[in-house]
Chain A
Amino acid sequence: MMRHTISVLVENKFGVLSRISGLFSGRGYNIESLSVNRTTDEGVSIMTIVTIGDDRVVEQIIKQLRKLVNVIRVRNVSEMDHIEREMILVKVHATQRTRPDVFNIVSTFRGKTVDITNESVVIELTGANDKILAFLNVMEPYGIIEVVRTGAIAIGRGSKMTSEMK
């Protein structure tokens, strides 16, 4: 079982998100995260889907996605040299006493503090999945109040376009 990041270029049309999420639920595939937004072409959106499965399941997922009429292109980004990012907003307990420690960790992880009250801070952090998990792990002892997290987005390295049509 491997974590795969799949990039799906879709026509920005009625019901396309439900076709894709429905395909996953109907065939019993699992979605770890899904993020979607427009590309530079407003008729086209790009979805980044993170799923977990063995090679055979992921091969079927990709083939089934390609069958959808509104799907323009599917690429298993995990198989190419790529950059992957997620973003989290974390609210952590931080009093006057613990705040310097928290700030230290945030700066080590190259995060940003975006809100401060007497009892808590809100931290914004981007990074790949493992970095995010490591950060949350370190923050745990301070008392995490709330985490809001985006799905992963990914882009290929170099001049090759992830959102290329062909």
Chain B
Amino acid sequence: MMTGAQILIESLKKEGVDLIFGYPGGVLLGVYDTLYDSDITHILPRHEQGGVHAAEGYARATGKVGVCFGTSGPGATNLVTGIANAHMDSIPMVVFTGQVATSLIGGDAFQEADIIGITRPIVKHSYMLTNVEETAAVIKEAFHIARTGRPGPVVIDLPKDVMAAKAKFEWPEKVNLTGYNPTVKGHLGQIKKMLRLLEGAKKPVIYMGGGVVLSEANEELVKFSEITGVPVVSSFLGLGGFPGTHENFVGWLGMHGNYASNMAVSDPDFILAIGTRFSDRSTGRLDGFAPNAKIAHIDVDPASISKNVQIEVPIVGDCKAVLKQALGEIDKFNWDKNASARKEWREQIKAWDKEHPFDYDRTADIIKPQYVVETIYKVTEGDAIICTEVGQNQMWAGQFYKFNRPHQFISSGGLGTMGYGFPAAIGAKLGCPDKEVFDIAGDGSILMNIQELTTAVQNKVAVKVAILNNRYLGMIRQWQNMFFNDRFSHCDLECQPDFVKLAEAFGAVGMRIDRKEDVENAVRESLKIKDRPVFMDFTVDRNENVFPMIPAGASVSEMLLMKK
């Protein structure tokens, strides 16, 4: 016989979990007592929000399921932002929350919160364990649900008495869920229909999203694009799913994506969408989005198909599996059918890119934030894992770093969570210790989870944080500048800590970089530090805006470009 807590830890081992992020508390003491004897590595964040983001960063960098713990009440509510973040970006997570004893539930006990109720709209699924004998089966189901289909977070609430009760440990052979059976393989007839439309298209484009990264369909997609000769446009979260340096790669579309990508989706005759949900930030105003195109859409989530944009050829299935099926049929079609029109189309896209590439004033004497990102790209030779905070820093990271592999770019896309990047970078580095991991940060966002410096120092996590310090909430300032008549309401961070001293106070390395000529050297120096986090505080141009920009609710034709 084992206690619920012991069954829990054994079940985690069975699932291959070797790293968890968690913060103990009253009702979790039994679980933590069991953890004390276990060989699972446990990282103690300094705030539950840091823990849940770190677990997500770990999941995104490794492709495994992220695991974290928080106690009942405030511990659990502090996890809410992180659960919502994982839900929006479809990241596999299993989140354990403590709960008061079942006999006390509903009585407003100390540190009681209805976390199942609170998280209901932001989870893929959730469980409240009420019977110790279900523990192993529930955990196995939770991991299965989290990682299959369209991935997402699963919450398991652990009442104190259930964790203390005893049962026999029996690891189920397989999960048996009558209501859950995601489609993996696509319908062959639909795949052929898609190929036939693609074969006949003169101006086709592939629009890929985060689903390609999640299903690791990158190799299949490269092959598919090369054989068919179709250019590839990515969503922001798709970055890395197709090599950024590949000649068929156009860039990323959407509010701050590149001109060529946005032009490419504004008037193609055929779009093959793969693993994307047509978010408003990607498409802009829907009536301006590819009005004359037929669209085929491969997605594992049927509800993502025809949700925002009407789809002619829906293909439900895993991106990788469906692309494999498509590759199996690909020789039966003639990809030279419209060779000259296709060539003209590709040249048109190249011309658009030449006309308006991502750019900034390279002659400026002061440090331009884009220059910092570009330098990090150069010094790391494009190999680093890049995490971001949210706002201008995030957009510049997407614009000036080229990602060549899945799991290389980690950013809060759907929810847009400030304070996400730093803990996510810690999780990513713990998951991929051999890779350099950077957090491209703003001076606003970085303060939102600054306490995790302690976590990084304690665990010798050598993440590099590049603060693009403009003493503003930069994206807010940009919108107030562009749309609110320069009425800078509460975006001026006139009082800021000394980030160098702050880093040092935590036991990390701090650097301040005020001159453009010191940028490269600072980044190179940071790479030499292997046992501690590094904060690089770059004093950048305060008034730099992110371009191009398609204002919210506008269409591609209203794109604002950098003034030359």
Contacts and interface: CB of A to CB of B under 8 A. Distances in A.
Interface size grouping (class) on chain B: 10 to 19
Nearest to B304: A63
Interface stretch (A11-19, A45-53, A141-149): A11-19
Contact of B121 (A11, A26, A72): A26
A146 to B, nearest CB: 32
Contacts of A59: 306
Interface string A19-38: 10011001000000000000
A128 interface: no
Nearest to A16: B179
Interface in B113-143: 116-117, 120-121, 124-126, 128, 130
Given A15-B128, A19-B120, A69 B302 contact: no
Interface of A: 10-11, 14-15, 18-19, 22-23, 26, 56, 59-60, 63-64, 66-73, 165
B307 interface: yes
Given A19-B120, A59-B306, A70 B179 contact: yes
B306 to A, nearest CB: 7
23 contacts: A10-B179, A11-B178, A15-B117, A15-B128, A18-B117, A22-B120, A22-B121, A23-B121, A56-B306, A60-B303, A64-B303, A67-B302, A67-B303, A68-B179, A69-B125, A69-B145, A69-B177, A69-B179, A69-B180, A70-B179, A72-B179, A73-B179, A165-B178
Contacts of A165: 178
B452 interface: no
A60 B120 CA distance: 19
Contacts of B117: 15, 18
Nearest to B305: A63
What 9 A-B pairs come out closest when comparing CB atoms?
A: A63-B303, A69-B125, A72-B179, A26-B121, A69-B180, A71-B179, A72-B178, A22-B120, A63-B302
B301 interface: yes
Nearest to B180: A69
Interface string B167-208: 000000000011110000000000000000000000000000
A60 B307 CA distance: 7
B178 A67 contact: no
A26 B122 CA distance: 10
Contacts of A19: 120
Nearest to A64: B303
A127 to B, nearest CB: 32
A96 B28 CA distance: 70
Given A67-B301, A72-B178, A165-B178, 5 more contacts: A10-B179, A22-B120, A66-B302, A69-B145, A69-B177
Nearest to A165: B178
Output the residue of B124, B177, B180 with the most chain A CB within 10 A: B180
A11 to B, nearest CB: 6
A157 B280 CA distance: 43
Nearest to A65: B303
Given A59-B306, A60-B303, A66-B302, A15 B116 contact: yes
Contacts of B124: 69
Contacts of B130: 14
B120 A15 contact: yes
Output the residue of B125, B179, B303 with the most chain A CB within 10 A: B179
Contacts of A15: 116-117, 120, 126, 128
